[in-house]
Structures are given as structure tokens and as C-alpha cells.
Amino acid sequence: MTETGNNMNAQKIRPNEELSLNYYVVAFLDLLGQKEKLINLEKKVKNVKGLALEAILPEIKESFGVTEGFKQAFENYFDKFNRAGPPPFPLSPDLEETYYRLTKRNVSFTRFSDSIVIYQSISTQANRTPFTSLLGILSSVAIVSLIHLAAGLPFRGGIDVGLGMEIDGYFYGPGLFRAHDLESTKAEFPRVVVGDTLIDFINNGMSINGSSLEDQVNNLFASTSKKLIERDRQNCFFIDQFALEMATQTEIDQLNELYCKAYAYIKDSIRHFEAKSNKKLLDRYRELEKYFRKNMKIRKLL
């Protein structure tokens, strides 16, 4: 690269700007099927002689609406989740006000193409109760993934702890690549895989036994976060959609309806991949079907 090119890149990242490198909880979530739809639309334009670009504009708009709705679903959930319920232990009026302040979840979102990144610093200097935001991220991923699966709009993801920094509203750092690697190499089908570093972080939070309100909040929210995580036969941790009532304000009947719709979509997908002789996706959706069938039998939904 020329010296001029190096200078231009240096100006873009503004090396003299004050940046803070911290550890973050990072979730990388990829909406499945959108890339293929866009590629097929481009092929359609190339292969159909005389087809005007305007002919595929409605489908492009529809795809954009799906991806924009993907991000909006998380933002809506956090708006709701920030309105915390009453403290689970007796507190004086002064401490109760402090409890509501400590349990407010503040997270950031970045969307690019058909993927979104959710992130929050876990530095105790900036956030005295990092486990409240962690629980917000885990529970939002669990409920939104179930809603999207029930609607036939599945996504896959990875979530872990890693270093990173925020630059002009974007997140960058090893934590992002760690989460993306989990999504692309471990998740395999519509689910969100949890990294070992995040498991260690949660276990550390569960071991906090101080008497301060901050310590009690961190221990409580770390323990609840752990209940949202399951492990499969390959010792891979993932977010358990069937543990949602322990961490969200969603009614049981509403959850059961979503489980049934999601299960119907999974069965339809299996039939589709069987007809297409797509063994790779067929095997993956059969694994998802096993997970749902086992838990739906426990709930007496099958």
C-alpha cells in the first residue's frame, strides 16, 4: 500500500481519538435465508431478458423490512425489559430506588446487512452490576429467537465475552470475532451458542457472596442467567428457549403457543429439506426437532 493510502486509513480511524478498550458481552446474530433470497433476485434480473429492475423492488423492500424488523424486535424487548418488577428481597425505600437504578439494562445494537450485534461493557468501573445487562441480552435472544422461529424467520448466533471498543456507534474487537466464530462454526442450526468465557464469567458472578446491594443483584442476575443456558451432547452450551419463564415477563400460555408454532415450522422445514434431498440442513433441523420434541413432551404439548 502506498504511503498516501496508509495516511488516508489512519485519518479514518482517528488514532488520536480517546478510545476505551474493555471486556464486553457480545452477541452476533445472523438472520437465516436472507442472503440466498437476495442472490436469487439478482440471478432473476440477469436470467430473465427484459426484466426491469423495478420488478424486483417490492421483494428487495420486503427483505429489508425483515432485517429492520429483526433489530426492532430486540429494541422493543429491551424497552419492556427495562421496566423491572419489584425487588425479590425486602428493601428500604431508599435502597429500593437504588435497586431499580442498578437493574436498568443498557445495551447497544449495530445492524449490518442481515446480521445484528448486541454488546455491553462488563467493566465494573463503568457498570457496577454487569449481570443485569447480561441477563437482558440472554433473555432477549431467547424470546426473540423463539418468536422469529414461530414466524418462519429463524436466526443463528453466538454470544461470548471478549475485548472490544466502540467507535462512532460501531463495535470492534476480538469479542466480535469470537461471537461470530461461534455463530459460523458451532451453532449449525437456528440456535444461539454460548462461549466458554461467558460461562466462566457467569460462574464467577454466582460465587459473589458479599452483603452489598450490588453484590446481591449481581449474584441474583448471574444465577438467573445460568438457568437460561443448556448444554448439548457435544458439550456445547446454548441458550435454552424452554427456560424463558424464569427470566422474562412472558405468560406461559403465550409461550406455549409460540412453542407449537415454532415446532410446526421445524416439521415443515424437515419435509422441505427431505423433498430437496438437502441432507446437511435436514440433519441439522432434525437435531432442532429433537430438542423441541423432548421439551414439548415435558410441557405436555405433544
Percent of the chain with pLDDT over 90: 54
The rounded mean pLDDT for the chain is 85
Confidence of residue 144 (pLDDT cuts 50, 70, 90): very high
Which of 274, 294, 292, 296 minimizes the C-alpha distance to 283? 274
Q: Could you give the CA distance from residue 258 to residue 264 in angstroms, rounded to a whole number?
A: 10
* pLDDT tens figures, 67-77: 778 888 888 88
Confidence of residue 176 (pLDDT cuts 50, 70, 90): very high
26-30, 47-51, 132-136, 258-262: range with lowest mean pLDDT: 47-51
Burial of 267 (0-12, 13-18, 19+ CB in 10 A): middle
Q: Could you give the CA distance from residue 296 to residue 302 in angstroms, rounded to a whole number?
A: 6
pLDDT at 142: 93
pLDDT mean over 44-67:
66
DSSP 17: S
**Dihedrals φ, ψ of 233, to 5°?**
-70, -20
Q: Which residues contact 153 (CB under 8 A, 6 or more apart)?
A: 31, 33, 66, 70
pLDDT at 5: 43
pLDDT mean over 53-71:
71
Q: Which residues contact 200 (CB under 8 A, 6 or more apart)?
A: none
Q: Which amino acid, residue 300?
A: K
* pLDDT tens figures, 254-277: 899 999 999 999 999 999 999 999
Q: Could you give the CA distance from residue 174 to residue 180 in angstroms, rounded to a whole number?
A: 10
- Does 94 score more than 90 pLDDT? no
Which of 224, 230, 241, 215 minimizes the C-alpha distance to 85? 224
Instruction: Considering only residues 7 and 45, tell me which one the structure prediction assigns the higher pLDDT.
Output: 45
SS3 per residue for 232-282: CCCCCEEECHHHHHHCCCCCHHHHHHHHHHHHHHHHHHHHHHHHCCCHHHH
Write down the pTM of the prediction.
Answer: 0.85
Confidence of residue 168 (pLDDT cuts 50, 70, 90): confident
> Grid coordinates standing for 289?
426437532
